[in-house]
Structure formats: structure tokens, C-alpha cells
Amino acid sequence: MKTRYYIGGAIILVFLGLLFYNFTQTNIEYESDFTKVMQSGKVCKASGVWVKEKSYQENIEDRTFVFYLKDAKNNEMKVVYKGTKPNNFEIATNVVVTGKFENGYFHATDVLTKCPSKYEGQNLNTSGS
Amino acid sequence: MIGNILISVAFIGAVFSGIMYFLNYRGYQNTLNYARIAFHTMATSTILASVFLLYLILTHQFQYKYVYSYSDTSLPLGLLISTFYAGQEGSFLLWALWMAIIGVILQQYTSVRGDLEPRVMAVYSLVQSFLLLMITPVVKNPFALIYSEPFMASASTINTQFLHLPFLADYIFSDRATGQMYVKIDKTLVDALKSAGIGLNDFIINGRGLNPLLHSFWMQIHPPILFVGFAAMSVPFAFAFAALIKNDYKEWIKQAFPWILFVSMVLGLGIMLGGYWAYGVLGWGGYWAWDPVENSSLIPWIIAVAAIHTMLVQKKTANENSIGAFAKTNLVLVILSFVLVLYSTFLTRSGILGDASVHSFVDPGYFAYLLLLIFMGTFIGLGAALLIYRWKYLQQITPAQNNLFSREFALFTGSVVLGASALVTFLGTSAPIFGKSVQIQFYNDMNLPLGILIGLINGFSLLVKWKESDGKELLRKSVFSLISASVLTLIMFFAGVKDFKMVLFAFASAFAFFVNAEIAFKILRRNFEKTGAYISHMGLAILFIGVIASSKYDKSVDVNLVKNEPADVLGYKLVFTGYSPTEDGKYSFNILIEKDGKKYKAAPIMYYSEFNQGVMREPDIVPFVTKDIYISPISYDDGTSTSSSQGTTLQIKKGETVKYGESEIEFVSFNFPTDAMQKMMSGQDFEIGVKLIVKNYGSKYEVEPKYGLRSGEKINEPIKIKDANIQISLVSMSADQDLVTLSVAPYSIDVNNEAPKKEVLAITASIKPFVGLVWLGTVVVVAGFFIAMIRRLKESRN
């Protein structure tokens, strides 16, 4: 009777151990400070604002989408995304890119655009017309 | 007004019926009638409120904020109806509506089964009270008028004949970034309109419309079905909770059994319809992306399915002297499955997943956020408190489960594995709360071994007998399935499934399939109504095999298709034949697919959406029995873009000199007339330029490349200097940075002579083997649940 509980307990412990090991191995941190992103070289989710002045490039040949992001401290970072320009890119208030910084630019595997919510934040100038 | 009253009445009815039912349970005989009247008043008001909202939507009453925000006059009827649940307010109302309808059925169901009604309905009314509270006028009110808070309505939705009214000038705003015009609608404007004799409904003549991503057939069925599942999940919960209240744990299992089968059927169907939507229309490339929103409804489903298995054991092992095995487990699992539905709601509606999910969420506001937390907290708290309170007693009366080699234990093990899978998914999905995020690999790596176990247990649990089994008999019974599964696995191995874990998964799934198929086949004629479990298990096995083949062994390439030039892609000949507009204002890009003389057509869709301010893409699928050809569009180039590939681009700062070949180019100054900007904006003719000095072997040329509009035609002629063998044209200038961008080329090259137009469509083409098995498996699972539900419904009457 008792051995059964021990075996069951052991299996559960092994499972939980594996679970947390895997969790820590695959989890990605959010990072909003680009100096840290550039130094660490680890896979992370970096969020920032698109640098409109530098526009973006879409290369059809090698299927890349290149743009610049800046963080709150105005640190700029070049982002190369293997894919096409995501929807809502131009109107996004915030861009979250997943990937890592290597060889002078951020290799993004995913780009998520956060858009202004539907009714708020229209950010109108109140000069009237 | 009407809407607000109906919702308020419904809310008060729910609270009142809950209290009356509870009092009735505590012995007050005379409150039962009040409770029933209050409950039916609640149900009627909720239904009427829903009908009213639908009426407002169908008649385009844009003075209501909800109607304005999600619909417009251009939507076809089906989609117009679906705007009912396009926003938070409406989807809560839909949930409450299903709760009301299911509640009426539940009231009837419980009233004929012993003393169930007061306890179960008291709990059920409590749940409904919370849901209705969410949509009362003070929280997320679907009937709020547009001017209840100052609202910026796009000028394009306003009747143009009124835009010139003098008093309106104070209310018109423009967004500097986009140039869009807005009308600020608030109380004072409404009063002004009223005194001018203009009705608000004549003033606002259109709405914002529905996000084009949701313009889909699946929008019309996926959310309603999912919400039936969510609403129905509170029924088993109410039974479990009622059992705890009465401290009687035998009957509820039998009575809740058809309901939990119903929940699992509907919720499972809803989840997979969402998967099909993602795969077939939204173009996620697959049917399951481990997106937090998908996960959050999968987790309660897995727990409910686990509960079904241990509830079956309790039902089987119960007798006059015993409540049956796993009584505690069942209470915990059923309460957990409901709480997880609330958790799912919290995750997806609180805005907490904002950074982590593709689904976009609107922060519901602090008050609603808090209310959601209280909603969830109340039921977690109540459930946990009552369980702890009864735990000691439950400990005494639950019989120990002794035999390891029995179906009871096998089913329990199955539930534990399901629970583990739910835990994995839960952990990954909840990570964003702690500012972390897991990679998809986490879900796949962790769930794969669990999937293998589920397949094996699925098969073996049906081969071992209740109470006690012996090894030899088990072996004899499993011979057919083991051999068949091995053969099928070998076939899959040679077809390309080589990864060790995948081979195991394939074997486990095939084994489960054959065990269930054999039993189902044997009892099909005599005992059709008992085939439910076997059929849904077969369905799951089919689904698993579909998952193995389609996710792990799909082939995918990116190609550029030049119009009318055949390309070889993954063994097929693909020809892009041009695009054509579709009926709903999108563009389909027609592709001919040819193999072995057979021709197929694919027409993925791309269009620019004003609503999303971006290009939207929809894939197209050519389904075969053994595979899907999946074509998703990436981009289209009509060949007219003027990329001056022959020129060199130079950037020069004011006052600086740059060398090009044998020449030196100095950027002297801008020639930017003061009125040019204004002319440019208003579309009149204008000219702007930059003054340059070009030096070449001692010669000096002062030139001014220009850019502008002359009698409506764009001008951008290159300046050519023959002696210096150079031509210069203006690409762009940036006055605030004192920077100019030039395109420079040797004199002789004809830059303007473009290459012949080539229309190029870029696509991703994939072959997804046996993805059809995933859908077939789903249908079979659902059918199995249905058969089982009918059987258990009959049993619940005794």
C-alpha cells in the first residue's frame, strides 16, 4: 500500500521537475531596455516604438522586413524579420519583437503589433478646425 | 432605456431567485414559488434584452455605442447578427443568454429529480448573477448611448448634410497624424442637435464596422458554440457544489453525467471550430498555435474530460454501502473545470495578455477588471472553502482504491495524465502574468510524452476489467490491436515518421484506435447506445494521427510566381494567372495547380483594409484525401514600381561634398519656395529642388534637379551633364536634417527605360499531409460524446 504512494509521488516529482526545467529553458523574458537586449544576445521579447523617420524596407527577394525600433531611452536597434510586414504595422503604438541580437542587428522570428484600442487614445489635436 | 431596465430586472431576478432557492433548501417551503418566478423572470428579461440588442443592431441604431462600434450598414445579415458578440459587452450578454436558456432546461431537469432543484438552482443563479452584473448599466453596458461619455465618431459616419451646421464647428476635430476628421459627440452636442430638430439617429448614419478579420462564416458559429460550452460548464459545477452543500455525494454523479458530456462535446467542438477558422481563413498556417486564447479554453476542456473518467469510476463502484471511489477527485475536478472557465475569461478580457497574444484585447477598465477578479475569486474561494470544510468527512467515506490492475485505476491514471497536460498548458498560458512567455516548443515537448501515455492508457483501460484483471487475458485481448497498430506504425515509419517519440506517439494512437474500433464493432449491433465512449476514443486517436502527420511532416516553401510563367513547387506546377476582384471588395489571386494532367485552382486573397490600415491576407486550401495544399499569399508586385536599379543612391548633407566616379558633387542649398508646401498639400502645381555644384576635371557646373507637379503631372527629370558623364535626379529631401538623397548614374544609361512589366506574386506554398484527419477526428469525437450523452441522460432518470 505504502510503496504505491511512494512510486506515485516519485513520478509526480519527476514530472514536476521536468516541467519546471523545461519551463525555465524555454521561457522568454520581456525586455524594454535595448542596451540589455544588445548585450545579452539571448532570445527575448523586446518591445519598443518604430522609428518612423527611418522608414522600413521590404525585400521580396530574401523575404525580409527591416525596420528600426527605439526604446524609452531612445536607444535605436535595427530589426530584421524573416517574413512580411505584419498587419497594422504603421499604426502600431508599440511593437513587440521576439528573437535575439546578433551581428549588429536583432534577428526577429516574430513581430507583434499593438494597436491603439478601438475607442481610446485617438490622440487628436484639440485645435479644432 | 428599455435595455437597461431589462438587464437590471434580469440581474435582480437572478439574485432574488438565488436567495429564495437557498432559503427553500434551508426549509422555507413557501419560497420555492418565488424562486421559480424570479428565475423565469430573469430568463425572460435576459432573452428580451438579447432580442432588443439584436433589434438595435438590425435596425442600425447607431446612437447606441455598441451598435456604432461593431457594425455598419454594409454588413450582410449573417455578419450583422454576429456583431452581437463582437465586443466584450455583447459577448457577456450572449453568455448570459445561453445561461438563461440552459437554466430553464436545468430547472425542469432538476425539478423532477429528487430534492435537487433548490440547491442546484441556488448555485446556478449565483453564477448568473455575476454574469449579469458584468453587463449592468454601471459596468460593461451593451445599451450605453454613444454620448454617455464624450465619443469621437469618424466624420465619415455622420450624415454629410449636417456637417455644415454652424454650431458643429466646435465639435469637429482632426487627427494630425492621419488627417482623419472626427466629430466629438457628447451631451451638449446632442442637446444642440435636439434644439435644431435633428434626431441623433439621423445624424449618425453609419457605424465603425466589424473588423475584416472577423468577416467570416466561422465568426457566425464559432463564438456562439464556444459560449454554449462556457455557459453549460456551470451546470456540473452547480451539481458538485450542491452535493457539497447537502453533504451527499452519490446521486450528483449520475445526475451531472449527461451535462458534463454535453459540455465536453460543445466546448470541444467550439475549440476546434476556432482551430479551423485559424487554419482555413486567418492563415495561421496551422490549426493550433498554442495561442493563450486558444489554450485558455482548452484547459477547462481537458479537466472536464478528466472528470468524466473518474466520475465513471465513482458511478461504477458506488453501491448501497459506498459512495464510490474518487468522490473527492470528482468534486475537485468539476469545480476546477468551472473555475478555469472563469480564469480563461479573466485572462482574455482583462487585457493582461496584451503583449502575448495575437488576439487583440481592449483593456476593459479598472472597474470591470476588478469585478472579473472578484467573480473568479468568489468561486475559487467558495469552492475551496466548502471542499476543505467537508474534506474530513469525505476522507472517511471514500473507499480506498486497492487494485492496481483494474479499469478503475487505469481510468484514474488517464485522468492524472490529462491533468498533467492541463497543468503544462496552464503554466505556459499563465506565464505572461509574471512578465514571461514560453516558446511553443514548451507545449510540444511537454505534451508529446503525455500524448503517448494518453494513447496507451486509452487502449489498455478498455482491455482491463473492472475490479480485477489478469495478465494473460489482457494479452490475449490485445493481440489484434497490438499487431494492427504495429503494422500501421510501420507504414507511417516508411512514409516518413522517423522521429522516435513521434513513432511512439503514432503507435500509441494507432493502438488506441484499434482497441476501440474492435470493441465498437463488436457491440455496434446489439448495444449501439453504449458505443459513445469507444467512438469518441477512436475520434481522438484519429485526431492524434492527423496531428502527427500534419504538424511534424509538412513541407513548405516560399516562391515568387511571375504571371503566366509556370513554376515547379513541391512537385506541382503552379501558374499565377492574375488577380480579380471578389464580390466583397477584396482581391483573389488566381493560381492554377497542375499535377499528372489534373488541374486545380487556388485563389488566396489579399486586400487593403481601411479598418486595420494594412494588407490583409487569406490563404486558400486545395484539399485532397491524403493532404492539403495550402497557399498563403505574401505580397504582390505589379511591376510598375520605379526602382531605379541602375542608379547609385547618395546622401549628402548641406555644405558637404561627395565623390561619384571622377566627379565631386556639392550640396549647396535647398530651393524650397515658401508656398510650395501649401501647394503640395492642396494638389496644385509646385516645384522644389536642390542646388548642387558638380566639379569634374576643373569644370564646374551649377545644376538644380527638381521634383514637383506640372499641370497635374509628376515631374522628376534627371539633370544630365554630358561632359561630366553624369546624370542626377532627386529622390528625397529632408529639410529638418539638411539632408538630400540623390540618384546618380553615368550619362549614357537610360534610367527611365524600365524593364518590361513583370507581375510577381509571392506565396508560401505548403503541403500538409492528412490534416483532414484532424477534422474527421473532431467530428467522430463529437459524435461519440453525443451518443454517450443520450445514454447517460436515460440513466439519470432512474
SS (H, E, C) B477-490: HHHHHHHHHHHHHH
Question: Mind telling me how many Å the CA of B178 is from chain A's nearest CA?
Answer: 9
Tell me how far CA of residue B3 lies from CA of B47, B53, B56, B308, B447, in angstroms: 11, 7, 10, 39, 46
- Average the pLDDT over B11-18 and give the result: 97
CA gap B465, B408 in Å, rounded? 8
Q: Are B629 and B572 in contact (CB under 8 A)?
A: yes
Which pLDDT score is estimated for A117? Answer: 42
Q: Which of A76-80, B257-261, B450-454 has the lowest mean pLDDT?
A: A76-80
- Average the pLDDT over B737-759 and give the result: 68
Give per-residue pLDDT as tens, B549-577: 887 788 888 888 988 999 999 989 999 99
Give the mutation candidate from A43, A65, A87 for the B interface (greatest B CB count, under 10 A). Answer: A87
Residues of A in contact with B181 (CB under 8 A): 129
Give the mutation candidate from A2, A119, A120 for the B interface (greatest B CB count, under 10 A). Answer: A119
Q: Are B668 and B692 in contact (CB under 8 A)?
A: yes
- 3-class SS of residue A123: coil
Which pLDDT score is estimated for A60? Answer: 66
Q: Are B744 and B660 in contact (CB under 8 A)?
A: yes
**Nearest residue of A to residue B153, measured between CA atoms:** A119
Question: Mind telling me how many Å the CA of B111 is from chain A's nearest CA?
Answer: 42
The ipTM estimated for the assembled molecules is 0.79
**Nearest residue of B to residue A116, measured between CA atoms:** B362
CA trace torsion A40, A45, A46, A52 (10° rounding): 140
Which pLDDT score is estimated for B220? Answer: 94
CA gap B775, B451 in Å, rounded? 18
Give per-residue pLDDT as tens, A15-27: 999 898 888 888 8
CA trace torsion A51, A55, A59, A65 (10° rounding): 20
Residues of B in contact with A18 (CB under 8 A): 446
**Nearest residue of B to residue A127, measured between CA atoms:** B173
Residues of B in contact with A23 (CB under 8 A): 427-428, 431, 438, 442
- Average the pLDDT over B372-397 and give the result: 93
Contact assignment for A85 to B173 by CB distance below 8 Å: no
Higher-pLDDT residue of B32 and B738 is: B32
All structural domains of chain A, each given as residue ranges with its CATH number in brackets, are 28-114 (2.40.50.140)
In terms of Cα–Cα distance, which of B227, B167, B203, B213 is closest to B68? B203
Tell me how far CA of residue B521 lies from CA of B192, B422, B487, B531, B533, in angstroms: 75, 32, 20, 9, 13
Q: Are B239 and B106 in contact (CB under 8 A)?
A: no
Which pLDDT score is estimated for A124? Answer: 33
Residue A126 has pLDDT above 50, yes or no: no
Tell me how far CA of residue B441 lies from CA of B356, B428, B504, in angstroms: 15, 11, 19
Contact assignment for A112 to B151 by CB distance below 8 Å: no
Give per-residue pLDDT as tens, B670-711: 887 777 767 776 667 778 888 888 888 778 888 888 877 777
Q: How confident is the model at residue B611 (pLDDT cuts 50, 70, 90)?
A: confident
Provide the mean pLDDT of chain B. 88
Residue B53 has pLDDT above 70, yes or no: yes
Q: What are phi and psi of B571, to 5 degrees?
A: 85, 5
Instruction: Give me the percent of chain B exceeding a pLDDT of 90.
Output: 52
What pTM does this model have?
Answer: 0.84
Residue B415 has pLDDT above 60, yes or no: yes
Residue B18: enclosing H or E segment and its boundaries?
helix B2-25
Residue A88: DSSP 8-state = T
